[in-house]
Structure 1
Amino acid sequence: MEFISAREAADKWGISQRRVAVLCSENRIDNAAKVGNMWLIPATAEKPFDARSASCIQNDGKKVKPFLKWAGGKGQLISEIEKHYPFEARKITKYAEPFVGGGAILFDILSKYDLDKVYISDINAELINTYQTIRDDIDALVSLLNKMQSEFHPLSTENRKKNYLLRRERFNELKINGDENTNVEKAALMVFLNKTCFNGLFRVNRKGLFNVPMGTYKNPIICDKENLYAVSEKLQNVIIVCGDYRESADFIDEKTFVYFDPPYRPITDTASFTAYTENLFNDEEQIELAKFVDEMHRKGAKILVSNSDPKNIEKEDNFFDDIYSSHKIKRVEATRMINSKSDARGKINELLISNF
Structure 2
Amino acid sequence: MSVNGTPLKWAGSKARIMDTLREHLPAGQRLVEPFAGSCSVMLNTDYAAYLVADINPDLINLYQVICEDTRGFLDTARLLFSTANTAEGYYHLRQSFNRDKSNRTQSAAMFLYLNRHGYNGLCRYNKQGIFNVPYGKYTSPYFPEQEIHFFAEKAKRATFLCCDFEETLALVCPDDVVYCDPPYYPASDTANFTQYHTQGFDKFDQYRLVTAAGKAARDGAQVVVSNSHIAHDVGLYAGFEVNHISAPRTISGNGNRGRVGEIIVKMGR
Task: Give, in angstroms, the shift of residue 325 of structure 1.
Answer: 2.2
Task: Give, in angstroms, the shift of residue 168 of structure 1.
Answer: 0.6
Matched to 1:66, the amino acid is T
Paired residues, number: 268
Structure 1 segments of 4 or more deviating over 3 A?
none
- In structure 1, how many angstroms separate the alpha carbons of the residues matched to 2:149 and 2:229? 37
Instruction: Deviation per CA, 1:321-345: give whole Å up to 9, x if none.
Output: 3x42221001111122023x25143
Task: Give, in angstroms, the shift of residue 264 of structure 1.
Answer: 0.8
- In structure 2, how many angstroms separate the alpha carbons of the residues matched to 1:186 and 1:338? 26
Task: Give, in angstroms, the shift of residue 64 of structure 1.
Answer: 4.0
SS in 1 for 2:227: strand
2:4–2:40 contact (8 Å) kept in structure 1: no
1:97–1:119 contact (8 Å) kept in structure 2: yes
Matched, 1:144 2:76: yes
Task: Give, in angstroms, the shift of residue 103 of structure 1.
Answer: 1.3
Task: Give, in angstroms, the shift of residue 346 of structure 1.
Answer: 2.4
User: What RMSD over aligned residues (CA atoms) do the two structures have, in Å?
Assistant: 2.0
**Unpaired segments ≥5 residues, structure 1:** 1-61, 154-159, 312-316
Choose the corresponding residue for 2:39, options 100, 103, 106: 103
Task: Give, in angstroms, the shift of residue 165 of structure 1.
Answer: 1.1
Choose the corresponding residue for 2:25, options 72, 77, 85: 85
Matched, 1:338 2:258: no
Task: Give, in angstroms, the shift of residue 78 of structure 1.
Answer: 1.0
- In structure 2, how many angstroms separate the alpha carbons of the residues matched to 1:123 and 1:114? 23
Kindly tell me: are residues 280 and 224 of structure 1, through their superposed partners in 2, closer, same or farther at Cα, counting changes over 3 Å? closer
Instruction: Deviation per CA, 1:255-302: give whole Å up to 9, x if none.
Output: 211001111111022211101111122222111111111111111111
How do 1:69-80 and structure 2 match up within 5 A? 69-80=9-20
- In structure 2, how many angstroms separate the alpha carbons of the residues matched to 1:108 and 1:243? 23
Choose the corresponding residue for 1:329, options 205, 228, 242: 242
Instruction: Deviation per CA, 1:165-222: give whole Å up to 9, x if none.
Output: 1111111112xxx33xx1111100000011111111111123221112211211111x
1:210 alignment counterpart: 131
TM normalised by structure 2 equals 0.93
Task: Give, in angstroms, the shift of residue 224 of structure 1.
Answer: 2.0
Higher relative contact order (Cα pairs below 8 Å, separated by 6+ residues): 2
1:167 alignment counterpart: 93
Task: Give, in angstroms, the shift of residue 149 of structure 1.
Answer: 1.8
2:87–2:137 contact (8 Å) kept in structure 1: no
Matched to 1:238, the amino acid is A
Matched, 1:129 2:67: no
Choose the corresponding residue for 1:293, options 203, 206, 213: 213
- Rg bigger for which structure? 1
Task: Give, in angstroms, the shift of residue 67 of structure 1.
Answer: 0.9
1:248 alignment counterpart: 168
SS in 2 for 1:152: coil
How do 1:1-356 and structure 2 match up within 5 A? 64-87=4-27, 92-109=28-45, 113-115=46-48, 117-152=49-84, 160-174=86-100, 178-179=101-102, 182-221=103-142, 223-310=143-230, 318-319=233-234, 321=235, 323-339=236-252, 341=253, 343-355=255-267, 356=269
SS in 2 for 1:219: coil
Kindly tell me: are residues 64 and 310 of structure 1, through their superposed partners in 2, closer, same or farther at Cα, counting changes over 3 Å? closer
1:307–1:352 contact (8 Å) kept in structure 2: yes
Identity rate of aligned residues, in percent? 30
1:64–1:231 contact (8 Å) kept in structure 2: no
Matched to 2:94, the amino acid is R
Matched to 1:229, the amino acid is H
TM normalised by structure 1 equals 0.71
**Unpaired segments ≥5 residues, structure 2:** none
2:5–2:15 contact (8 Å) kept in structure 1: no
Kindly tell me: are residues 201 and 249 of structure 1, through their superposed partners in 2, closer, same or farther at Cα, counting changes over 3 Å? closer
